[in-house]
Amino acid sequence: MSLLSIRNLDVRHGLLQAVRGVSFDLAKGDVLALIGANGAGKTTLMRSIAGAHLPAAGNILLDGEDISTVPSHKRIARGIALVPEGRRLFSQMTVEENLLLGKTAGRTGDWNIERVFDAFPNLKPRRHAKTGHLSGGEQQATAIGRALMSNPDILLLDEVSLGLSPLVVDRVYAQLHALLTSGTTIVLVEQDLGRAMNVASRVICMLEGRVVLDKPAVNVSRDEITQAYFGLHRAAGERSAS
């Protein structure tokens, strides 16, 4: 059985339909790169999986159970953790206090504060610093660490590179590497396609709210990605996938 199943999902922001008939399954250990141009609907889909938006239609199943209307705090307790775009840390709280918030989900597992500091060694000397005083890379590491503290089965990483210098992004990805190869199921939204394809086992490309490409990462060419990303297959007269 799939760990996560998305079935014909529609999500709206008022009159605007941001996600249109999206369906896919994720197996345990999949690392899914969710790609697409600005406004394609990636963040809306990630937030919908995390419970921040309720679907207008369709279903989200976790381990076969329909969680479409389960509120976000209960989804964390069921093992879905989102590292949101923009990190959303509590800037007046310390690194350690932010990390401990991840524990409030009450899930047990291998992740604890010391293991987070092992995974992100640059955070340890900053554990008592307020996160508002941290560098972008340290803030991103704290946001990822906070999610890991909830011992998730599915980790949703939305644009972890955003606003970071290439050098810092390299460091964050190096630190993520152990996680990416540890069997944790991950959905990664990443604008840097090369970086996303390096770590992903599977790639889904969204265009105007729809899935237009869904393939194992090893089977997909740069050309296919470019065509899906920019909707060039439609310009060539083909029907878009839906």
User: Which residues sit at the interface with ligand ATP, rule CB under 6 A?
Assistant: 13, 16, 18, 36, 38-44
Helical H runs in 149-192?
A: 166-180
**Nearest CB to ligand ATP, comparing residues 112 and 136:** 136
**Nearest CB to ligand ATP, comparing residues 87 and 126:** 87
Q: How far is the CB of 206 from ligand ATP (least distance, A)?
A: 6
**Nearest CB to ligand ATP, comparing residues 46 and 220:** 46
Q: How far is the CB of 178 from ligand ATP (least distance, A)?
A: 27
Q: How far is the CB of 189 from ligand ATP (least distance, A)?
A: 7
Q: Give the residue carrying structure tokens 């605007």.
A: 16
**Nearest CB to ligand ATP, comparing residues 38 and 92:** 38
Q: Give the number of residues written for the chain.
A: 242
Buried b (16+ CB within 10 A) or exposed e, 2-35: ebbbbbebbbbeeeebbbbebebebeeebbbbbb
Q: How far is the CB of 47 from ligand ATP (least distance, A)?
A: 8
- The single-letter code of the amino acid at 228 is A
Give residue 215's Cα distance to chain centre: 18
**Nearest CB to ligand ATP, comparing residues 41 and 152:** 41
Q: How far is the CB of 46 from ligand ATP (least distance, A)?
A: 8
Q: How far, CA to CA in Å, does 104 sit from each of 47, 73, 99, 145, 161? A: 20, 10, 10, 14, 26
